[in-house]
Amino acid sequence: MADERSIWTGLRRGLARRCPTCGRGRLFDGYLHIRSSCEVCGVDNNIYPSDDLPQYLTVLISGHLIVPLLIVTDNAYALPTWLEGVIWLPAAAAMCLVLLPFMKGGTVGLCWATKLTRRDAET
């Protein structure tokens, strides 16, 4: 049997927005606020840093999806610039808002799997 604390387990549970320790409790209390303790196992998930990586991953993935679509539609239909802005700016914003909680959960799961915690939590 594989080690329970594997990177794939952490990523899978985090991307599902579940507690990385038990996989059953909800990771977030609201949109992006991490619960202070898991409702199932009681583990404090605030000890795992998820400061900047979720935002970088969100922009990276959104950019790699939106920009090719923008280029293809621009070449195929030659839409006016204002219309492309009306279409693609809200699409990019919506994609970022949808992806961000998943990327933050995945980051927390990755930190759990690699046992990376905040310095002030190591008391």
2 inside domain: no
Angle at 22 between CA 16 and CA 27, to 5 degrees: 45
User: pLDDT tens across 7-63, in order?
Assistant: 999 999 999 999 999 999 999 999 999 998 999 999 999 999 999 999 999 999 999
Q: Is 88 a domain residue?
A: yes
Instruction: Please give the model's pTM, rounded to 2 decimal places.
Output: 0.88
Is 1 within the bounds of a domain? Answer: no
Domain that includes residue 52, residue range: 7-121
Question: Once rounded to an integer, what is the mean pLDDT over residues 64-81?
Answer: 94
pLDDT at 3: 55
Across the chain, what does the average pLDDT equal? 92
Residue 45 forms part of a structural domain:
yes
User: Nearest 5°: CA angle at 31, between 27 and 34?
Assistant: 35
Amino acid at 60: L
Residue 95 lies in a domain: yes
**Structural domain count of the chain:** 1
